Amino acid sequence: MIMLPDGLFDFQERCSMFLVDKVSSNNSKQIITVKAPTGAGKTVILIDFIDKYLNTVNSNTAFVWLCPGKGDLEEQSRKKMMKFLPSKTTKNMFDALLTGFEAGSTTFINWELVTKKGNKAISDSEKKNLFDRIADAHRKGIEFIVLIDEEHSNDTKKANSIIDSFSARNIIRVSATARENKLIEFYEIDELDVIGSGLITKALYINENVEYNGEFDNEHGYLIDLADAKRKEIAEAYDNLSKRIRPLVIIQFPNSSTLLVEAVEKKLTEMGYTYNNKMVAKWMNGNNEKINIAGIEEKSATPVFLLMKQAIATGWDCPRAKILVKLRENMNEDFEIQTIGRLRRMPEATHYDIDVLDFCYLYTFDEKYKESIKEAMNQAFETKRVFLKEKCYDFTLEKQYRDKDFDGLGERETFQEIYKFLVNKYGLSNNKKDNQLRLENVGYRFGDAIIRRIRQGKFVTNESILNEGVGTYTTTSRIVNTHKNGIELLHSIDEIKSAIGMAAQKTKVVMERLFRNNNSSKNKLLSLDSKEYYAFVINNVQKLKEEFREATAQLAVQTSMNISVKTATFSIPEQELYRYDSTETDVEEITTNAYKLYSSAMIVDGIRSKSERLFERYCEEKEDIDWVYKNGDTGQQYFSIVYLDTVGKQWLFYPDYIVKKKTGEVWIIETKGGETGNKSNNIDRQVANKFEAFKEYARVKKINWGFVRDKNEILRINNTVYTESMQSEHWRSLKEVF
């Protein structure tokens, strides 16, 4: 019996019984998915389910508990089981490799230990590997049930291969972002039930008291000051209740933020919080840098600030964490729903009926968190492994990849290309005042103040964050201080350079020659003083990113003479993992595909574009097609061609399809968004450069090729001169050519 003093909450008991009923039923579907809000106690629910199942249904069962590698979640989960269910045997993967899987045991496995390259646990060796131990258990008649914690975290070919090898009676997937699927068993725990139990906070406050207008040193310093004031308020409230709980502030950084980390460390040191006095801890996922981490989850642990990167998103459990400062550097950083969940746990699994203790707090100038939550909550598709048909084994092509020593055009040539683009797009001239007026007219912000639009309010559920009617929006303004806002300028330039693949120094030089008055460039579009320049770049970083992307997408010369590329031999991968819609009915095998069991459920809306769906069905209906291979979007194992952007930067693109006809004729096809009426649905800015590079590759290799788009449900192909308008004579009916 699970050793909880007060037993399970009602919602936990209902979920546990649901799992027992489904797994013990012969009519149940193999896969069972549980959607559980972070903090609902899914670990306790699963432990209780294991206990009930072994005691009342089938003791000759081995449970395998798969966890994501970030945060040592498998060890946390195992320790909880040893605490709450000490009568049952627990193992880690190394125990299983040594002694095998036993009936009545639960083996906790870290995904990264079995899926990373070169892993000895699944490789051939003199000692028994994981697959050998699974086979031994099967021979003994032991049944497996696989539990997948944070199931969204590992969706790879190797992960699915390992899951399949257990031939489990049931696979139970648990996640905060799971989706309902009619073809699997599904159970959802109501977030309001979890709140009502006291396990998680009553609500999340976003940007409480962020209202400063005027001048402050920097964003990170301002937010840290607010967070520290709130931390002290929470600590005082705990002290008044004689609770030995030290609230923790998490400062979350995006990846690639060394300068920002250093700036925050300096700020905290000035406030009296350092690594040396144990008040600050660090856990950086990328380089495994850990300082003062041991015991940090304890309620009265010394650190009051924790510097983290993306490790916070999965599996970490520290209920004293009450405040999150999410620092803004790269607006495209993921901000998952699990991240907010880390703040919502109550340290003693109960509410205190004191607002400051029963709520949690987020401070951020990043507006993208709402979109990332929405993305994480969107429905995801299942995946299926398929295997290559034997007739495709020997097929090869020459693929290209980038020469990393090739750095594109110099600073002067790059400046000239971007300058020319902006002049032509907006009708700019040597008249700086007129240029400013024209740029203001298209949405550029000018002045010497940094402007931020932030969201504020109280949000009870994660769904409420997606509701535009909940909370308010506030604008903050502060005058630039060039001595203190330099890091924000560097961050903005870094965003721009990352968007176009240019070196930071080159981007900085180009920006200053275009817009700043501190150099003698003749072809200057604006002549902003230092404060105005800082504000211009920081406030308009998103627009500038798009401008630079568009500028570098202008047609460049793509010939083998001016592209220094490397080559390798491409072969079709022997197995592939494709997404599919498991709710699709009337599924048919696509017999022309290069893979066995590739089906119509893999070419539905949301997985394939309209032109892709039409093209695959078109090939399926043609009698002269031998096979069709759907290429991957990125990765060394797929077929790729190098193209140049306007400033000479090398990029890879991956044509969508390779088709072999029964005559032996080979075609390479790239599909793009088609045309509705006279409006193009193509969203690829680099389409013309890709077209020309593709054309040059096909000319040299003497291979058939074409770009394919749809108009009025009819596919058309172009392999002569690219035009966005499909009314051009260069877009011919696919039936005439292919």
pLDDT in tens, 255-266: 656 778 888 999
Residue 39 pLDDT class (50, 70, 90 cuts): confident
Residue 378 has pLDDT above 50, yes or no: no
CATH T-level topology, domain 201-377: Rossmann fold (3.40.50)
Q: Read off the pLDDT of residues 609-657 as tens digits, 9 standing for 90 and up.
A: 999 999 999 999 999 999 999 999 888 899 999 988 877 788 899 999 9
Judge whether 201-377 and 382-403+564-737 match in fold.
Answer: no
Q: Tell me the mean pLDDT in the region 163-178.
A: 86
Mean pLDDT of the chain: 84
Among the listed residues 722, 719, 592, 613, the one whose alpha carbon sits nearest the alpha carbon of residue 662: 592
* Residues 38, 339: Cα–Cα separation, whole Å: 9
In the chain, where the domains are located = 10-196, 201-377, 382-403+564-737, 411-552
* Residues 313, 331: Cα–Cα separation, whole Å: 17
Burial of 662 (0-12, 13-18, 19+ CB in 10 A): exposed
Residue 329 has pLDDT above 60, yes or no: no
Burial of 286 (0-12, 13-18, 19+ CB in 10 A): exposed
* pLDDT value of position 634: 86
Calculate the CA 223 to chain-centre distance.
25
* pLDDT value of position 555: 63
φ, ψ dihedrals at 29, nearest 5°: -75, 155
Residue 331 has pLDDT above 50, yes or no: no
Specify which of 209-213, 374-378, 533-537, 545-549 reaches the highest per-range mean pLDDT.
533-537
- C-beta of residue 278 within 8 angstroms of C-beta of residue 292: yes
- C-beta of residue 138 within 8 angstroms of C-beta of residue 167: yes
Q: Read off the pLDDT of residues 563-578 as tens digits, 9 standing for 90 and up.
A: 578 899 999 999 998 8
Residue 682 has pLDDT above 80, yes or no: yes
Q: Tell me the mean pLDDT in the region 678-687.
A: 88
Residue 151 has pLDDT above 60, yes or no: no
CATH T-level topology, domain 10-196: Rossmann fold (3.40.50)
* pLDDT value of position 376: 45
Q: Tell me the mean pLDDT in the region 393-411.
A: 80
Among the listed residues 346, 313, 310, the one whose alpha carbon sits nearest the alpha carbon of residue 330: 310
* pLDDT value of position 334: 35
Listed range (182-191, 374-383, 421-430, 525-534) with the worst mean pLDDT: 374-383
Q: Tell me the mean pLDDT in the region 410-427.
A: 85
pTM over cut 0.85: no
* pLDDT value of position 335: 44
Listed range (130-139, 550-559, 580-589, 710-719) with the worst mean pLDDT: 550-559
463 vs 585, higher pLDDT: 585
Residue 314 has pLDDT above 60, yes or no: no
Residue 313 has pLDDT above 50, yes or no: no
Calculate the CA 345 to chain-centre distance.
24
Residue 518 has pLDDT above 80, yes or no: no
* pLDDT value of position 129: 82
Can you give 551-572 as a three-state secondary structure string? Answer: HHCCCCCCCCCCCCEEEEEEEC
Listed range (2-6, 166-170, 256-260, 568-572) with the worst mean pLDDT: 256-260
Q: Read off the pLDDT of residues 346-358 as tens digits, 9 standing for 90 and up.
A: 999 899 999 999 9
Residue 580 has pLDDT above 90, yes or no: no
Residue 369 has pLDDT above 50, yes or no: yes
Structure tokens at 300: 């009265």
* Residues 187, 22: Cα–Cα separation, whole Å: 11
* pLDDT value of position 63: 96
Residue 171 has pLDDT above 70, yes or no: yes
Residue 534: other Cβ atoms inside 10 A = 22
Q: Read off the pLDDT of residues 83-114 as tens digits, 9 standing for 90 and up.
A: 999 999 999 888 988 999 999 999 998 876 76
504 vs 719, higher pLDDT: 719
Structure tokens at 402: 């980038």
* pLDDT value of position 126: 45
- C-beta of residue 457 within 8 angstroms of C-beta of residue 434: no
Say yes or no: domain 382-403+564-737 is CATH 2.40.128.
no
* Residues 639, 374: Cα–Cα separation, whole Å: 33
* pLDDT value of position 115: 61
Residue 179 has pLDDT above 60, yes or no: yes
Burial of 378 (0-12, 13-18, 19+ CB in 10 A): exposed
φ, ψ dihedrals at 514, nearest 5°: -80, -40
* pLDDT value of position 561: 42
* DSSP tag of 231: H
153 vs 465, higher pLDDT: 465
* Residues 658, 639: Cα–Cα separation, whole Å: 9
